[in-house]
């Protein structure tokens, strides 16, 4: 008998559960995200009534891929120019939100009797929103094209940038119990370099490349080139110490400035839906009841 790799078995189980919950929650007129998460709980290791995922370590990989393609798709709809347009308002809103949630988290931790460091980390956790959940919710509600959604997405991206600095600051505080100014400065400089690369790539490099190569590209090659560019930016972001999802969003926003933006968005839609479903089911699988 031919041995089937656990990776394929687990993927079949994930997609099967996702397909059933999609139909059920569509019938009940409920958010599909909730259905995906419940499906993940049912096929996860904590419920014995249904077949269970075999290799949980692979689920983290599927979830990471799902986040990458969700943020890449968001970038295709939220171009660099749009981000600059709402950048001022989004930055102010994001900074206010981060500061307020940091303070509330810190005060809550102290009220609960937690240590100062634990209270600071609680504030840091509360100050960062779940970009993927909000994207999916807006998509299902059909409000992604409205103006307020652009402001919300701008806030989420600024929050992701602030999260990078927070991770550097909090990790150094936790280890050395003191503020490491040099490491924070290095993080800020790397972030500035990355944003400069984003600007140059979005205005000059990638649009010029696609324009000159347009005669050589059909749908297949355009899809492959687009996903390759996405993953190359993901690798670059990870090597620089940033979130892979941030790199995916940046490449999506760069491609949104090109003449092929609508075509790429159409081609990538199926990939996004597939891995988006896998991501949300994975969230349910990774929930620990304890």
Q: Domain containing 50 — which CATH number?
A: 1.20.1530.20
Residue 1 lies in a domain: no
If we measure between CA atoms, which residue out of 280, 229, 227, 242 comes closest to residue 160?
242
Span 242-287, pLDDT tens digits: 778 778 888 888 888 788 888 888 888 888 888 888 888 887 887 7
Q: What is the distance between the alpha carbons of residues 254 and 206, in angstroms, rounded to a whole number?
A: 7
Residue 196: inside a domain, yes or no? yes
Q: Is residue 49 part of a domain?
A: yes
For the chain, state the CA radius of gyration: 21
Residues 132, 261, 203, CA angle at the centre, nearest 5°?
A: 95
Could you list the residue range(s) of the whole structural domain that residue 10 is in?
Answer: 6-286
Q: Domain for residue 87, yes or no?
A: yes
26 within some domain: yes
Q: Cα–Cα distance between 57 and 147 in angstroms, integer?
A: 40
Residue with tokens 């009797």: 113
Is pLDDT at 12 greater than 80 in this prediction? yes
| Whole-number Å distance between alpha carbons of 229 and 206 | 9
Model confidence pTM above 0.85: no
Does residue 241 sit within a domain? yes
Tell me the CA distances in angstroms from 213 to 75, 205, 209, 259, one per residue in order: 22, 12, 6, 12
Average pLDDT over all residues of the chain: 76
- Structurally, how many domains does the chain consist of? 1
Query: Which one of 47-56, 227-236, 278-287 scores highest in mean pLDDT?
Result: 227-236
**What is the reported pLDDT for 32?**
80
- 193 within some domain: yes
Compute CA distances 175 → 53, 113, 170, 180, whole Å.
Answer: 36, 21, 9, 10
In a domain, 64, yes or no: yes
């Amino acid at each position: 008998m031919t041995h089937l790799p656990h990776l394929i078995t687990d993927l079949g189980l994930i997609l099967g559960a996702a397909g059933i919950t999609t139909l059920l929650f569509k019938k009940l007129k409920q958010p599909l995200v909730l259905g995906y998460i419940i499906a993940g709980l049912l096929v996860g290791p904590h419920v014995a009534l249904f077949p269970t995922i075999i290799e949980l370590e692979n689920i983290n990989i599927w979830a990471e891929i799902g986040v990458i393609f969700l943020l890449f798709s968001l970038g295709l709809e939220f171009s660099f120019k749009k981000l600059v347009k709402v950048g001022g308002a989004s930055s102010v809103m994001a900074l206010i939100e981060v500061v307020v949630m940091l303070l509330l988290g810190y005060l809550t931790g102290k009220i609960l009797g937690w240590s100062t460091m634990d209270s600071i980390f609680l504030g840091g956790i509360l100050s960062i929103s779940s970009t993927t959940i909000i994207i999916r919710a807006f998509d299902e509600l059909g409000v992604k094209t409205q103006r307020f959604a652009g402001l919300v997405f701008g806030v989420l991206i600024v929050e992701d940038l602030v999260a990078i600095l927070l991770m550097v600051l909090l990790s150094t505080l936790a280890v050395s119990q003191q503020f490491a100014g040099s490491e924070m400065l290095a993080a800020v400089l790397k972030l500035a370099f990355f944003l400069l690369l984003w600007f140059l790539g979005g205005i000059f490099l990638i649009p010029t490349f696609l324009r000159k190569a347009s005669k050589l590209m059909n749908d297949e090659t355009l899809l492959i080139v687009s996903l390759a560019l996405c993953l190359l930016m993901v690798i670059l972001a990870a090597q620089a110490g940033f979130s892979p999802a941030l790199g995916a969003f940046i490449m999506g926003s760069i491609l949104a400035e090109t003449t092929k933006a609508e075509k790429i968005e159409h081609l990538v839609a199926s990939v996004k839906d597939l891995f988006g479903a896998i991501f949300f089911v994975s969230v349910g699988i990774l929930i620990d009841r304890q």
